[in-house]
Structures are given as structure tokens and as C-alpha cells.
Chain A
Amino acid sequence: MRRDLGAGLLVVVGLVLAVSTLTGGYLDYVRPSHRWWLLATAALLLVAGSAGLFGWARRPDPDDGSRAARLHTHGPLAATPEAVAAAREADRASGTDGGHRPAVGWLLVVPVLLVLLVPASPLGSWAAARQGPTVPATAVTSGPLPPGSDVAVPDYAVRAAYDGGRGLADRDVALVGFVTPADDGGWYVTRTAISCCAADARSYLVAVDGVPAPPRDTWVRVLGRWTPSATPATARLRASAVTAVPVPAAPYVT
């Protein structure tokens, strides 16, 4: 890779990082607190790339170029053919003939194009259905339920699946999540939890009784009450009302 193209590529990656972070697009991929790491990285890429692009950091560099190129091949100072061959070999081994940048860096274009060209979409019903309705057992101990009716789907699911619904019975709860269709015609209100990024996602599915399934992957707010589930380690809710809601800015629970 030519040096100026390498510098330009760093600027491009830095720009995409900065735009994705500032517009909130990064929330489809990583946790919200990653924001500062991403901004710092974008700044570094922009500085390093611009420096290369505009020659801020250029010094008079007697060694700019390969070892072989610095040897005389003619005239009284000519090196022996063996010495030239050895220098060429050393250049090849160190991958620096001509002061180029590593060509593998071009691969950074792939995530850039995916961020720019593929419409952003957080993990949805496809990933949730693959995992299945068994609630991931997090060791987080459930304290008292927060006041108000809004409960996070993972919180509800863990209490319902592993705590016998303690604290949930006879209370109106509201769950916000997306729709995952079930094999038997029913559906689940679903939320995905991540710790760092979408690669470590766990889906929490709560089966919804009493209301027909909305379209797949639409975001809904489900009002209802806890009801026991026949299958162990799964969660169920008897719904009284389902309303469509806009996709939240932060689609994952952390």
C-alpha cells in the first residue's frame, strides 16, 4: 500500500468511527459506555492519518526507501552482486521495499463499507430464535422489583424463570421489546443483552399469552401480568394490551 493511501485510509476509518459514534449508530453494535473509547480512537486515527497525508510529521529521512535502493550498483562504489542480493532479500523479509504500508490494511475497507452501506440493524428475532426461549441464567440476584410498571425484559424473564415469579404476581408490568414469532404460532417479547458488543449477546424471550402476534421484529410495549410457565427455565406473561413503540435509541440492555 502506498504511504499516502495508508494515511488516507486511516482518516476514512477515523471519520466513520466519529460519525457513527456522534450519531448514535454505534449503539447497534457495542455498549453505550464504549463511546469515549471510540471517540479517542477516531481522534488518534484522524491525527495519525492527517499527519501522513499532509506531511506534518515528515522529517528529512535519509533511509526513506529500501536497503537495496541505497546500494550503488555501478561505478567505483558499487557493491558486490552478493551484497545487493542480500539487501534485496532483507527488504523482502522485512516487507519494507520502498517504504510502503502493509497491504493487509486494505481490509479495513470492509467494515467501513458495511457501516456505510448496510442499513443499521441491531440483532433481532433471527438471533433470538436461534438461541431459543430458555432464559439465560445470569447470577444477578434479584432484589425488590423497582416501583412503577416498567420492567426490563431480562429482569422480568430471570425472575419469572428462576425465582418462581416472586415479586411479580398480582402486579401490572410493562415490557418493551421486539417480536420474535414462536414455532407454535405464539410469540415472544424479546430483548437482547450485551456486555461489550453484539458478539456476546444473550436474548431474553418472554412468551406472551392473550394477544395475537404482531409482525416479526416490530417493537412493542406489552402490558400484562405474570403467569406461570409450564416449561422450566422459561418466562411467560398474560397480556392485556400491546402497543407499537418506536425502536429505542439503545436497542440492547447492558
Chain B
Amino acid sequence: MSNKTYSIPIGPVHPSLKEPMTFHFEIYGERIEKVHLAPGDNHRGIEFMGRQRNPIQIIYLAERICGICSASHPFAFCQAVENAMGIEVPEKAQYIRAIIAELERIHSHILWAGVAAHELGFDSVLFLSWRAREEVLDLLEYLTGNRINYGIFMIGGVRRDITSEQITRIKKTLDYYKEIYGKLEDIFLNDPTIALRTKKVGILSKEEAIQLSAVGPTARASGLNKDVRQDQPYAAYADLEVQAITPEVYSGKVNGDVYDRIVVRLLEIVQSIQIIEQCLANLPEGEIVAEEKLVKLLNLIKKAQGEGIGRHEAPRGEVIHYVKLNQSELPEVWKARAPTYNNLMPWIPMLIGQQIADIPIVLASIDPCIACMDRVTILDRKSGQKNILTKDDLHKLSVEKTRRMAQ
């Protein structure tokens, strides 16, 4: 690097999200020239912990990989074990799984919309969207007993049924979202300041998305037509018409910028509502779990030999779990991969050429599930002088940029 560049480490604690991750930026003036990623601050060795647990216990561990994706990980994990053992899941359970997963998508996307608004300095929008999110969390609590970590998944099905009485309540919540959606769309997609801050910022081209194996809304916003629910329909999605949403649907063209990522996520809220409605309309009757008695299930696991993968389209993209069983209570191996893992590399082309004040919104734009910050150190290599930017300073820079552009 030329001696004109500065090196800025950001993280492990940082403003775009409330999770730890370190970034090292090489800055020329205000422009980012190079990015080095250093995750791992939140590595808890969950796969290692899984070695001392049987697959039924792992479901609850998988649920706790992430507080927001707490239906996605057990969904993929249960599918992996079912595929390894050859268990067929009852139809009703497949539908209930899809309903819970879609409710989770609604809450996750609205949560993200609030965070994105906060990064840009629109705290009133943060409050509005997080207020809207409460409704779906209340519904999830009503259906499963918990706002997060639902504990509803079981190998071979689900643990709780959805009764006709509960369906009325689900429909009521969906109506609420249909009502409020217009408002959210208007704020995010028609507001000139949000457009100024997010259009042509953090661009990821389609080729880069393919080569770097991007997943989820990040990949779709770059025009990559990829969604596990569409490509390899599993569970109830096999009966439904799910189409991957790319920004063309809304604006007719793909830019692959932060704005497009907002478009994709907002449209996916509508898609989730439609999926839940279809699931409720076609909800089959019957059993909800293949093997009700856990002791018997565990005995089956102990005798099972084989390997399987489970894939699910989580709110952030594809999650994949791999399980190998070897006639033992404990699995031979359990591997979990969350979507942000694949979206780490696409961050680099997105960030290069951007300004420091754009860092929070670009980082937040992939909806990462790891990262966050307390302070930024600006180190002048020449003089060795250190300036510490706190979380508030960086946030202020971002808010000021919005104000400047809005004037």
C-alpha cells in the first residue's frame, strides 16, 4: 500500500450490529482501499459441544446458535438427521414447520429494516418497525410458548400442533402486517434520503455473488435467482409456488446495491405472508410427529448409520447442516453453516471504494449475524498517532452524512 493510506481496525464491537467482529480497513482519504476480515470473536465451539450431546439434545443447542434464526437451525438440523435415518415427516408437521419458519422471516426482516434505519439516523423508523415486529413475536409466543428459541422442532416432526382457534389468531396478525406493510414500503422505498444513502452504495455484481457463493437476500439483490425454497423445495414448500425475489420485480432492473437489498427484504415480507396463508388454507390433518416417544426415538438413533444434509432458506440465506450417525448415541459429526459465513467474502467487493461513513449501512446490508462495535481506532502509520473513534462517533458520522445529503 502507498504510505498515504491509513489503517483502521473496526471491531470486535461495532455500530452496525450488536455482535462482535473485527474488520481492518486500509483507507485513502475517506475511501476504502482494502478490507481484511477477522471474525472468530464469537466462536463458541458449538460443533464441539454437539459431540457430547445426542441428536435430540442438539436440537436445542442448534436453536441457540442464533437468537433470530432459532427456527432455521433446528429446521435444517432435523432435516439432516431425518435424511440420515430415513424418517418421513408427517405432512401436517411439514406445514407447521413452514409456518413457523415464515413467521420468523417476517420478524427477522422487520428487525433488519429497523437496524438499517437506525444506521442511517432515522430512529423514528426504528421505533415504528420494531413496534410492528412485536406483533409477530407475540404470535410466536402464543403458538410455541416462546418469543425466540421456540422449542417446537423435533426429529421427525414438531412438538406442538396448530389448532383451528390458533389459526384465527394467526390470520389476525397477518392482517395487521398487510395493513402496516404499505407504510413500511412507503418509508423505505419512496423516501428520497434513504434512496440517496443506499442507492449505488455497497454494490455486489452478479458475477461476484456467484463466484463468492453469496446466499439469501444478498445474492438475490444482485440478481442471482437463488432460493432453496424454490430450487430444491423441501417440507411444505414443495407444494407451494415460491419464487426467488430479485429487485427486477420492483424496479425492473438490478443494481446490486444496498437499496436493492432493502427492496428484496421488504418484498419477502409479503411473500412470507402469502406462504403462511397458503399453508393455513391447505393445512392437512393428521399426526405431527413421526415418533412420539423420545426414548424410542433415541433407540432408533442409536441403531442408525448414515449421513445426511439438511438445507433451509433462513431469513439471511441458505443454512446447511450435515450430520453423520454411526450406531451410537452421539453423532459422529455435526456441521452447521449459517448464511453469514458465505456472505463474509462478498463484503469485500461491497466495501471497497466506499466511504467511512458508509461502513455501518454496508455492513448491516447483508444482515450479518455476528458482528458489532464499541470503538474505532484510526492509526496514522507515519506518525504512529492514534485517534480513537467511539461507537457514537462512527454512528454520528453516518447520521451527519444523511443530514448533509438531505439538505
Query: Do these two chains interact?
Result: no
Which residues of A does B touch, CB under 8 Å?
Answer: none
